[in-house]
Amino acid sequence: MNHLFDWHVLDDSVWAAHIAAALRHYRAGKTWTPAAPSRSLALLFFNPSLRTRTSMELAGAQLGAHVTTITPGQGTWGFAWEDGKVMDGTEAEHIREAVGVLSRYYDALGVRVFASGTDYAQDRDETLMRAILDAATVPVVNLESAFYHPCQALGDASTLMTHFDGAAKGKKFVLTWTYHPKALPMAVPNSALLMAARLGMQVTVARPDGYGLDPGVMDQAQHYAARHGLTVEESTDQAAAFDDADVIYAKAWGGPLIYQDPDAEAARRQDFKDWRVTSELMARTNEAAFMHCLPVRRGVVVDDAVLDGPQAIHLLQAEFRLHAQKAILEHVWDLNPREEERVSGRLSASLFAPAHAEDGA
């Protein structure tokens, strides 16, 4: 089955084909190409969403599929997740039956289920998303799980390839932590980091002490970077990290600290309220594009002048969610002319070629 759990478990050729397909949909604009008129898609959102929900509904509709969106707990039964649980409490249905039933009705499922924020091993191991994958008998698309947001990653990669006219490789990409009143999950920063490193960009993660990302994710990013002869840098000096950047990708995250001592993390976070993207910081860059996955808190994460200025590409980034997810649905339903797209452009040929011959494959 063509699950989309995360890109790092899929081949470069699949990743490149998806970027090519997303760009194809971008060039086509708001077209309705009913390649999937007899398909159906159920979207389960265990957590809130604006972009993912609407763009996925529209992606399905524009391909001609029937789409049902479900908000568990609102009009459905409450679901139990644990194996072996004696369900004598409030939960009336186990996720195994819920997903098993939906698999018999629908041709694919999309699921958003965020990190617990309390159990690091559960989140790192993607226990909840894996329970869905285990129970499903149709393809599942990850609409943001504990550690990964592959739909965002594909949209972001396609945005960058458009912004740089196919030449994202070698550009300086700064993933900068920002202050936020809440300790947010790490799925987006993890996915942005892996995406940029896989594209061969020079990646710097700027973040305060204690806000490093998961070591396993960093290792995977270093692996991608090494294929291009690069190293992912980390810096606790936000201003210095902005120097000569071509892309500033802002994101707040709680980091592993929230799992160890949430009160200490909350107190520590107050020391970093000045980690906000300002015009002054942007002036240090190489006229960098400003990116954010959205939603974004104005005046907290980034100043209005940056969001409303000419360097902000966050709305193009959001638009690409629709194009990317049409590419993903084509993939899960085997509608994508992937062979054609592998050879269709400069992307697949150039994206993954090592920067130097000695770097190897």
Task: Give the interface segment with ligand CP, choosing from 44-52, 236-244, 283-291, 323-331 (CB under 6 A).
Answer: 44-52
Residue whose CB is less far from ligand CP, 85 or 182: 182
Shortest separation between residue 222's beta carbon and ligand CP, angstroms: 25
CA distance 248 to 285: 9
Q: CA dihedral in degrees (90, 95, 97, 99; nearest 10)?
A: 140
DSSP state of 200: T
Nearest alpha-carbon partner for 112 in 82, 83, 141, 73: 141
**What is the nearest approach in angstroms of ligand CP to the Cβ of residue 117?**
16
User: Least distance in Å: CB of 142 to ligand CP?
Assistant: 11
Cβ–Cβ < 8 Å for 53, 43: yes
Given candidates 18, 24, 51, 228, which one binds ligand CP under the rule CB under 6 A? 51
Binding range to ligand CP, per CB under 6 A, among 101-109, 238-246, 289-297, 341-349: 289-297
What does the alpha-carbon distance between residue 282 and residue 289 come to, in Å, rounded to a whole number? 9
Q: Which stretch binds ligand CP (CB under 6 A): 45-53, 175-183, 305-313, 328-336?
A: 45-53
| Residue carrying structure tokens 């797209």 | 341
Interface pattern 52-81 for ligand CP (x via CB under 6 A): x-----------------------------
Part in contact with ligand CP (CB under 6 A); list of ranges 257-265, 269-277, 278-286, 293-301: 293-301
Q: How far apart are CA 33 and CA 30, in angstroms?
A: 9
317 lies in the binding site for ligand CP (CB under 6 A) = no
Q: Give 4 or 293: the residue with its C-beta nearer to ligand CP.
A: 293
- 294 binds ligand CP per the rule CB under 6 A: yes
* Stretch of 49-57, 67-75, 223-231, 257-265 lying at the interface with ligand CP (CB under 6 A): 49-57
How many of the other CB atoms lie within 10 Å of CB of 11?
A: 10
Alpha-carbon torsion (234, 238, 243, 248), positive or negative? positive
Q: How far apart are CA 48 and CA 62, in angstroms?
A: 23
Q: Quick one: which of 152, 176, 202, 336 contacts ligand CP (CB under 6 A)? A: 152
Q: How far is the CB of 243 from ligand CP (least distance, A)?
A: 28
- Tell me the site size for ligand CP, rule CB under 6 A: 9
Under rule CB under 6 A, residue 296 binds ligand CP: no
Query: Contact at 8 Å (CB) between 174 and 202?
Result: no
* CB 181 to ligand CP: min, Å: 17
**Given 4, 36, 213, 293, the residue binding ligand CP (CB under 6 A):** 293
- DSSP secondary structure string for all residues of 271-283: GGTT--B-HHHHH
Cβ of 357: how many Cβ atoms within 10 Å? 7
Among 1, 9, 28, 50, binds ligand CP (CB under 6 A): 50
Separation CA 257–CA 246 (nearest Å): 30
Question: Should residue 145 be labelled a site residue for ligand CP when binding is judged by CB under 6 A?
Answer: no
Query: Is residue 101 a contact point for ligand CP (CB under 6 A)?
Result: no
Quote the CA–CA distance of 108 and 302 in Å, as a whole number. Answer: 37
Q: Indicate the pairing of strand 247-251 with strand 289-291.
A: parallel
Looking at the Cβ atoms of 291 and 347, the one nearer to ligand CP is: 291
Residues 6+ apart with CB under 8 A from 331: 2, 4, 14, 17, 18, 21, 338
Q: Residue 6 or 341: which CB sits closer to ligand CP?
A: 6
Residue 183 makes contact with ligand CP by CB under 6 A: no
Q: How far apart are CA 2 and CA 327, in angstroms?
A: 13
Q: Which 105-144 residues touch ligand CP, going by CB under 6 A?
A: 144
- Report if residue 191 touches ligand CP, rule: CB under 6 A: no
Distance CA 92, CA 110 (A): 22
Q: Which is closer to ligand CP, CB of 49 or CB of 62? A: 49
Please report, as ranges, the residues that interact with ligand CP according to CB under 6 A.
49-52, 144, 152, 293-295
